[in-house]
């Protein structure tokens, strides 16, 4: 589904990604992990063409991302920081995104699920961080695209909403979608994901399932296994 070849990107003199290759062919949930500044968001934004790579090529569902914007119909993206135009009402934003992307009936169900009815007439600027994130999730999940990219999806959510989010992600997985997630919460990653892609200093240092990672590093839980990966590479 997603094929990244020889991706390089630097911001001014700061090299963020250097010759990164990533091939995700199958369905399932993939976690992109790595310390702060390892290039997770840059990788995701490159796949979405929000960041223009210096070198390398990216293909999504067989389409070259440089050639056309149509491939983004295949992707639902949850951005890391939910910033919306503040003078717009929630329902206006939903209507607008529907207008831009096409019809969907799923929004009603999601509004109920996340208890967003009381906020529909509120301006986005007046919402709390968690409620904004719920709107963010709603906008992402209301379309049925084969690829889901979630950048720190659990930020700011209360426990109930977090459980609902997990259910939602698993439902999408059942449908046979490819799901990319970044997160700093290891328990969330361990619970949800099939495979881990570990980024360090702009390159992939590990790609495989959690069991293999634990075995390779000789650790019993994921948090320590990741820490061991980091230590090994810093020595």
Partner 1 sequence: MFKILKYSFYDLARSRWSYIYFLFYLILALVLLFLNNDLSKAVITLMNVIIILVPLIGTIFGVMYYYNSREFTELLLAQPIKRSSIFLGQYLGIALSLSFSLLFGIGIPFVIYGLFNSGAIWDFSLLLLTGVFLTFIFVAIAFTISLNNENKIKGFGYAVLMWLFLAVIYDGIFLMSLVIFEDYPLDKLSLLGTMLNPIDLSRTLILLKLDISALLGYTGAVFKQFFGRQLGLFTSIFVLCLWTVIPVLRILYKARSKDF
Q: For residue 37, what are its two tokens? A: 């500044």
Question: Near partner 1 by CB under 8 A, which window of 74-82, 157-165, 170-178, 182-190?
Answer: 74-82
Shortest distance (Å) from residue 87 CB to partner 1: 7
Shortest distance (Å) from residue 114 CB to partner 1: 19
- Residues in Cβ contact with 230 at an 8 Å cutoff, skipping those fewer than 6 apart: 35, 200
For strands 195-200 and 28-33, give the pairing: parallel
Closer CB to partner 1, 51 or 186, in the complex: 51
Rounded CA-CA distance 97/69 in Å is 16
Q: Which of 8, 88, 122, 210 binds partner 1 (CB under 8 A)?
A: 88
Question: Near partner 1 by CB under 8 A, which window of 22-30, 57-65, 94-102, 191-199?
Answer: 94-102
Closer CB to partner 1, 36 or 87, in the complex: 87
Shortest distance (Å) from residue 98 CB to partner 1: 11
Q: Which of 79, 146, 153, 202 binds partner 1 (CB under 8 A)?
A: 79
Question: Which residue, among 182, 186, 179, 151, has the nearest Cα to 33 in the 3D structure?
Answer: 182
- Under the criterion CB under 8 A, does residue 205 sit at the interface with partner 1? no
Question: Which residue, among 231, 229, 154, has the nearest Cα to 196 in the 3D structure?
Answer: 229
Q: For residue 172, what are its two tokens? A: 């999408």
* Binding residues among 29-58 for partner 1 as defined by CB under 8 A: 45, 48-52
Whole-angstrom Cα Rg for the chain: 18
Q: Which of 18, 63, 73, 156 binds partner 1 (CB under 8 A)?
A: 73
Question: Near partner 1 by CB under 8 A, which window of 78-86, 159-167, 187-195, 203-211?
Answer: 78-86
- Under the criterion CB under 8 A, does residue 71 sit at the interface with partner 1? yes
Give the strands of the sheet with 28-33, arranged side by side: 75-78, 147-151, 178-182, 28-33, 195-200, 203-208
Residue 139 contacts residue 104 (beta carbons within 8 Å): no
Question: Near partner 1 by CB under 8 A, which window of 24-32, 73-81, 157-165, 188-196?
Answer: 73-81
């Amino acid at each position: 589904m997603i094929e990244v070849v020889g991706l390089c990107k630097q911001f001014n003199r700061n090299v963020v990604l250097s010759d990164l290759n990533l091939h995700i062919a199958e369905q399932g949930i993939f976690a992109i992990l790595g310390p702060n500044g390892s290039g997770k968001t840059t990788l995701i934004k490159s796949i979405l063409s929000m960041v223009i790579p210096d070198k390398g090529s990216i293909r999504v569902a067989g389409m070259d991302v440089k050639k056309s914007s149509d491939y983004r119909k295949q992707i639902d993206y949850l951005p890391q920081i939910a910033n919306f135009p503040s003078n717009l009402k929630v329902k206006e934003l939903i209507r607008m995104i529907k207008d831009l992307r096409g019809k969907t009936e799923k929004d009603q169900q999601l509004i109920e699920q996340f208890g967003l009815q009381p906020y529909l007439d509120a301006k986005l600027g007046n919402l709390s961080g968690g409620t904004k994130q719920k709107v963010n999730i709603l906008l992402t999940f209301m379309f049925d695209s084969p690829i889901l990219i979630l950048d720190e999806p659990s930020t700011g959510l209360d426990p109930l909403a977090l459980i609902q989010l997990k259910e939602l992600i698993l439902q999408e997985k059942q449908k046979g979608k490819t799901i990319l997630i970044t997160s700093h919460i290891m328990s969330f990653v361990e619970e949800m994901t099939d495979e881990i892609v570990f980024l360090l200093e702009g390159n992939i240092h590990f790609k495989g399932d959690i069991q293999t990672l634990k075995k390779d590093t000789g650790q019993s839980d994921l948090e320590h296994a990741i820490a061991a990966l980091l230590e090994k590479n810093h020595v």
